[in-house]
Chain A
Amino acid sequence: QSVLTQPPSVSGAPGQRVTISCTGSSSNIGAGYDVHWYQQFPGTAPKLLIYGNRNRPSGVPDRFSGSKSGTSASLAITGLQAEDEADYFCQSYDRSLSGSRVFGGGTKLTVL
């Protein structure tokens, strides 16, 4: 299983707000390491969505936002759109695994 824990799936209707959680431990998120989020459509490479817990690369709509508290982080998507349907992965660093970057298991977002 993944070092970071995400719900396998979330869903929401167009226009709604959804959140995706990413739960870690004292050796990764809780140790102060940054959390990044990636969006992946079927058959394509992951794309950086949020970096450093809450920063959006240019071109990412401000409907996407990130936050972090304690041993967890969250990705929020407001004004849900059909094109947001994708897989979302969180990622951080774990100090107990030398040099290791760690990912969440991924969350499939379904737009109803």
Chain B
Amino acid sequence: EVQLVESGGALVQPGGSLRLSCAASGFTFSNYWMHWVRQVPGKGLVWVSRINSDGSSTNYADSVKGRFTISRDNAKNTLYLQMNSLRAEDTAVYYCAREDPLRFFAFDIWGQGTMVTVSS
């Protein structure tokens, strides 16, 4: 079964750090670009970051640039999001998603999400 499973979400104080993980299974992880998307409960989806298949190229939303770092370990079939200098406005459910070039680069597989709460 093709699957993405996020972990690492937690309650963290403002200014703190957290690393999210996304474990992939059921497909050749190293062939796909991957993304992080976040959602404040009850609100819309917001794209956060993307990484290409071999990890050599990354992009970030302006709201997280310089604070978040996306990376991947293709040997471990795992995507990461290192989040530093966290702010209250980073509070959200974080989803990892696979981008499928055969489906016009749509996000065809999503994880179940992991909740990040930034609060003192």
Where the two chains meet, the residues of A that have a C-beta atom closer than 8 Å to any C-beta of B are: 2, 34, 36, 38, 44-48, 51-53, 55, 57, 89, 91, 93, 97-106
CB–CB A52/B104 < 8 A? yes
Q: How far is the CA of A79 from the CA of B67 in the complex (A)?
A: 46
With CB as the reference atom, state the residue of chain B lying closest to A2: B44
Tell whether B111 is near chain A: CB-to-CB under 8 Å: yes
Q: Hey, which chain A residues are within 8 Å of B45, CB to CB?
A: 38, 46, 89, 91, 103, 106
Which residues 66-114 of B have a CB within 8 angstroms of A?
A: 95, 100, 103-108, 110-113
Give bound CA distance, A34 to B111, whole Å: 23
Q: Is the interface of B mostly helix, strand, loop or mixed?
A: strand
Contact B113 A45 (CB under 8 A): yes
**Do residues B103 and A52 form an inter-chain contact, with CB atoms below 8 A?**
yes
- B10 sits at the interface (CB 8 A): no
Knowing A51-B103, A51-B104, A51-B106 touch, does A100 contact B47 (C-beta < 8 A)? yes
15 further contact pairs, Cβ within 8 A, besides A2-B44, A104-B44, A106-B43: A34-B106, A36-B104, A36-B107, A44-B112, A45-B111, A45-B112, A48-B108, A51-B100, A57-B103, A89-B45, A91-B106, A99-B59, A100-B61, A101-B47, A103-B46
CB-CB < 8 A to B95: which residues of A? Answer: 45-46
Q: How far is the CB of B97 from chain A (nearest CB, A)?
A: 8
- Does the CB pair B50–A99 fall under 8 Å? yes
Whether B110 and A101, one on each chain, are in contact in the complex, defined by CB atoms closer than 8 angstroms, is: no
B103 touches A48 (CB 8 A): yes
A52 touches B59 (CB 8 A): no
State whether B106 touches A52 (Cβ < 8 A): yes
